[in-house]
Structure formats: C-alpha cells, structure tokens
Amino acid sequence: MKRFAALVLALSLLDPLLPPFLPLSWGNVEAVSWEPEPWPGLDAERTEEPASLAPQMVPGLVAQRIHNTNTNIDARFLTVSGSKELNDSTLKLIWEAVSLQEEASGVNYMPQAHARGAGLNDRGCQEGETTRSQKEIRTADGTSVVCDIVFARGAILGQRLRVLQIVDGSVTKDHAVTLYTDTEENKNYLASEIWQESAYSYVWDSLLEVLKRDEGALSLSLTTGTPDVEVLQNVLENTVIGEDNELIVTFAAGTKTPELASLGIEEIDDSVSISLPESSVANLLTDFGHTLLDTAANDVPLGLANFTWPGNAYVDCKLLPCLAMTYDDGPSQLTPGILDAYAEYEGSATFFVLGSLVESHSDVLLRAHEEGHVIANHSWSHEDLTSLKPERVASEINQTNTAVFDVIGVVPNSFRPPYGAVNEKVLEIAKMPAILWDVDTNDWQKPAEGELINRVVDDAKVGSIVLQHDIHQNTANTVWEVLEILRGRGFTLVNVEQLFGGEVPQSGLYRRAD
Ligand code: NI
C-alpha cells in the first residue's frame, strides 16, 4: 500500500494535470481495491485569513490606550468591566510588553499623561491592526501593542493582541496572541486552550497536507509529521472561529521547519490559513472549545455578562495614568448632570457629601452609588472640625456616616474635612483617612467657564486629586468638556478607592497618590 501511494504521489508530481483520483483499475497494482483510509486532514481546506471585526463597543467593554514616551511604549487594548481576574491575561500581556520595553530602553515605566490635544480619547482596537505589516504598525524604536476583535458573540469577547518591538531599527519581537474572555464564566482563555493536546498532530498534518496540495501534489498519500511544537503553539494561540463555525488557524509568513523543507518549502511566503470543520475536530476540543463553538452557533450579538460601572471595575493605576476627580458639598440638583457626564466618559468620581443634604437628595446619592462612584464623608454641617469639641467632631462624622449608610447601605470609608482643616485629633476621632487634594480649582470663585476648565485640565497630573464642588453651576456646565480634555490627555478617571489600588488607606492624610 505504501508503495502504491508513493507511486501515485510520484506520478502526480510529474504530471499535475492527472485527475485528482486515479481510476482504481489503473495498471496492474495489487492494491486495486485500496481505498484511502479516512484521515481527518482531508477535511482541512486552505482559506482566507479571517478579517477582524469592526470595533464595537458594548456596555462593559472598556477601550484602553497607553502612550508612553519615556519608556517608549504604545498600547491599545480592551478590558471588560468587572473583576481583576477577568482581565488578568490581557493585563499580564501588556505588562510583559512593558517589562520588555523597560529592558530595551533602560527606563522604568511610569504612567504618563500628555499635554492637551494629545488625542488620546481614541482608544481600544482599530480594525485590521493586528494583521498589518510591521512597517504599518511601527517604524521607530520602541514597543507597540495593537488589538483586534476576532470574536464578539454572546458573553464572549475574543481579542487578538500583537506586540511589536523594534530596537536599534530591528524587529526584536513580533508576537500575536488571541485571548477569549468568557464574562459569564468569569474566565480568560488563550486561544490555544480551545484545543486538546491531541489536536497538535492533526493541525500540523493538515498544514503539511494543504501545502502539499498547493504544490500540486495529490493527496492519496497523506502526510503525517511530527509537530513543531513551538511553531504550532503560536499558531493555536490565534485560533479563530469562521463564519460557518469552522476553526481557522493561520501560519505566519516566514514559517519554516525542517519538515516543510523536506516538502520542498524553504519557508512560507505568505501566511497560510487553514479551515478545519467543526465536525472533524469535535473530539479534539476542550470544554471551552465546545463552549466557544456553541456560542458562535447561537449567533447572539455580544452582550457582556455582569456589567459593572467603571467605578466598580478593577483599574491598574500603576499601568494607566489615573486621576481622581472629587466633588464636595453636595449632593445637589446639579449632581445628576455630572453623573451623566461620567457615564458618557466611562469614568468614576468621588463625592464628599454633607450629611445634612443626604436625606433630601437620597435619589441622586443612591444613583451615584449604583453607578460606581464613591460616596465619602464631608461632615454634617461643614464646620471647621479643628475648632470643635471632640464630641461635636465625632457627631459631625458619625451622623453623616449613618445618613449615607441609610441610603446606600455602605458606610463611607474616607472623609474630607471642610476647608481641608484637619489635625491629629480630628483624624483620631474620624477613624478614617482624610483625603485632601493637590489641584484646587477654586470653582466657588465662579471664574469664567473657560478659565475654570483650564484650572482643572492644565494642573492635573498622574495621581492627582482634583477638588471641585457639585453645587456650582459652572462646574456642572463644564464637566463634559473637562472630561473630554482629560481623557484626551490620556487620563483614566477613577474614584479615590481605585486611585489607591482598590481601597483607601486605613488612616492618615493624603493630597494625591504617589
Ligand atoms: Ni466643602
């Protein structure tokens, strides 16, 4: 049988015009009744490299952007709102790129914000970015991370991230990986986790087979090889699901292995994509692989499970340039408009409220809390706490805590003393950290709106805490433009808990985060 197959192959190489299946009566070969054994590789077909999906933003999907000229790294990526675990794989990959670039540049990474007009409102993935040529992604020294959406069905997002590093004009890293985030199961998967290990030989042999057919060879003799695990790992890490629920794997241009060389292929000129029908790979998939295919088949548009507001999401302020906007002396009838702006700009803020106003504005307080903003304590009646007797200080703080708890069910865990007036005694009685500010916009002076905007956006630095008041009309009027400009400078707008790494410190006095 072997000899027969070898003969057929030899003939086919001599004459590519031979019909694809030789008549079984051909010649005087003993194996006339031979039929090709069913071999799964026959189902593999060469296909187009799948296009990425148009960027689509759904509630809970957060577009990120890093532009860092010190360490020389740019990154675009998507996170999903929610737990830290849900974005672990993505953030790990970004941090790996950062570390790599720190080594190359010799400059430690620090989140960086930029001058007005830096254009960093444009965040997240750009369609087709991960399949562009190296030169289209980056030409200068440094590292770029770009992303594409490759899967957006049901509760699962598939994102391909490509890291390209150039050192001294030469490409030192160019690696893409596709991550699937199942927001229902609250888990991340590398695309290679679609496959069981037993799939390796199958996918590898399919490549050899497809390439052989490309060379004009007949396929009655099926190639079986020994997978080049390193090559294959990279390939499987970028598995995507095609329109007909087939699995598509792509071998990059330049792929070369001794095995391909023995087929007469020194290296692949252009990338080679192979489609593998679901039916022939079903027993090679993991549970997640089946979940992904089922999700694809259901054809329900992307809708992330467990949506959380930005203020409730994990934000890595060591990676992103965070800034905390704070609003004092409310809540007021102006607060809802400010909340609208934060919802639009995917940001979170902190509201230091007066206990005496809480009950009459309980609706807006509850809304602010439910939309992920932090509600903190600004005393009951806005007295200078350092001038009050200890019992009075305690009641100013505690009454406010109680009033807030009665509305939102959470006790404030930080306070801002009125006028910023605080001493050891007040801190001791409050039993909470005092959060002051490093950028005072003096909005109570009622400056012209343009002037007020300048005060906020020009003085804000990474880690800053900005003081405004949600009781002044000009503050409410300018918040939209302020947030637009701050995001354009690259800032991520966070509340004070996020600013301090997820929770405020236990005690002490803070003007900014360092
Ligand atoms: Ni105040």
Distance 336 CA to ligand 1 centre (A): 19
- The pLDDT value recorded for residue 40 is 44
- The pLDDT value recorded for residue 271 is 86
Q: What is the mean pLDDT of residues 13-25?
A: 41
Cβ contacts of 330 within 8 Å, gap of 6 or more = 351, 353, 354, 357, 361, 469, 470, 471
User: Considering the entire predicted model, what is its pTM?
Assistant: 0.87
Distance 328 CA to ligand 1 centre (A): 5
Backbone angles phi, psi at 63, to 5 degrees: -85, 130
Tally of CB atoms within 10 A around 358? 24
Please indicate whether residue 328 is annotated as part of the active site: yes
- The pLDDT value recorded for residue 357 is 98
Polymer length of the chain? 514
Give the β-pairing of 142-153 and 247-251.
Answer: unpaired
pLDDT at 360 over 90: yes
Residue showing tokens 């057919």: 213
Tally of CB atoms within 10 A around 425? 13
- The pLDDT value recorded for residue 18 is 39
CA distance 325 to 228: 53
CA distance 386 to 393: 8
For the chain, the average pLDDT equals 89
Counting Cβ atoms within 10 Å, is residue 149 exposed (0-12), middle (13-18) or buried (19+)? buried
What confidence category does residue 35 fall into, taking pLDDT thresholds of 50, 70 and 90?
low
Counting Cβ atoms within 10 Å, is residue 354 exposed (0-12), middle (13-18) or buried (19+)? buried
Q: Which long-range contacts (C-beta less than 8 Å, at least 24 apart) are formed by 401-405?
A: 401/355, 401/377, 402/355, 403/355, 403/358, 403/359, 404/353, 404/355, 404/358, 404/365, 404/375, 404/377
Q: How distant, in Å, are the alpha carbons of 260, 275, 357 from that of 268?
A: 9, 17, 70
Distance 58 CA to ligand 1 centre (A): 37
Distance 352 CA to ligand 1 centre (A): 8
DSSP 8-class letter at 420: G
DSSP 8-class letter at 79: E
Distance 487 CA to ligand 1 centre (A): 26
Q: Which of 74, 148, 228, 328 is catalytic?
A: 328
Cβ contacts of 424 within 8 Å, gap of 6 or more = none
Give the β-pairing of 509-510 and 434-435.
Answer: parallel
Distance 330 CA to ligand 1 centre (A): 9
pLDDT in tens, 71-103: 999 999 999 987 788 898 999 999 999 999 999
Q: What is the mean pLDDT of residues 126-150?
A: 95
Q: Is the dihedral of CA 506, 507, 512, 514 positive or negative?
A: negative
CA distance 465 to 513: 8
Nearest to 439, CA basis, from 512, 334, 390: 512
CA distance 132 to 146: 10
Q: Which of 67, 369, 378, 469 is catalytic?
A: 469
Angle between helix axes 229-236 and 199-214 (nearest 10 degrees) is 90
Q: Which two tokens stand for residue 127?
A: 């369609």
Supply the DSSP string of 135-195, one letter for each residue. HHH--SSEEEEEEEEEEEETTEEEEEEEEEEEETTEEEEEEEEEEEEETTTTEEEEGGGGB
pLDDT in tens, 272-298: 999 999 998 999 999 999 999 999 999
Supply the DSSP string of 295-329, one letter for each residue. HHHHTPBP--SS---GGGS---TTTS-EEEEEEEE
Q: Is the dihedral of CA 232, 235, 241, 246 positive or negative?
A: negative
- The strands making up 156-167's β-sheet, listed across from edge to edge, are 61-68, 73-80, 142-153, 156-167, 170-182, 187-190
CA distance 184 to 60: 13
Distance 93 CA to ligand 1 centre (A): 42
E strands, 237-287, in order:
240-241, 247-251, 272-276
- The pLDDT value recorded for residue 223 is 67
pLDDT at 7 over 70: no
Distance 262 CA to ligand 1 centre (A): 77
- The pLDDT value recorded for residue 221 is 58
Give the β-pairing of 322-330 and 465-469.
Answer: parallel
Cβ atoms of 342 and 348 within 8 Å: the answer is yes
Strand partners, 152: 157
Q: Which two tokens stand for residue 403?
A: 């009033």
Q: Is the dihedral of CA 187, 192, 193, 194 positive or negative?
A: positive
Distance 329 CA to ligand 1 centre (A): 5
Q: What is the mean pLDDT of residues 169-189?
A: 94
pLDDT at 3 over 70: no
Q: Which two tokens stand for residue 276?
A: 């593998």
Q: What is the mean pLDDT of residues 216-225?
A: 62
Please indicate whether residue 122 is annotated as part of the active site: no
DSSP 8-class letter at 442: -
Distance 465 CA to ligand 1 centre (A): 15
Q: What is the mean pLDDT of residues 356-375?
A: 98
Residue showing tokens 């390796």: 200
CA distance 349 to 352: 10
Q: Which two tokens stand for residue 179?
A: 């991550």
Backbone angles phi, psi at 348, to 5 degrees: -135, 150
Distance 61 CA to ligand 1 centre (A): 35
DSSP 8-class letter at 54: P
pLDDT in tens, 471-486: 999 999 999 999 999 9
Query: What percent of the chain has a predicted confidence (pLDDT) above 90?
Result: 72
pLDDT in tens, 234-266: 999 999 999 899 999 998 888 888 888 877 888
Distance 256 CA to ligand 1 centre (A): 67
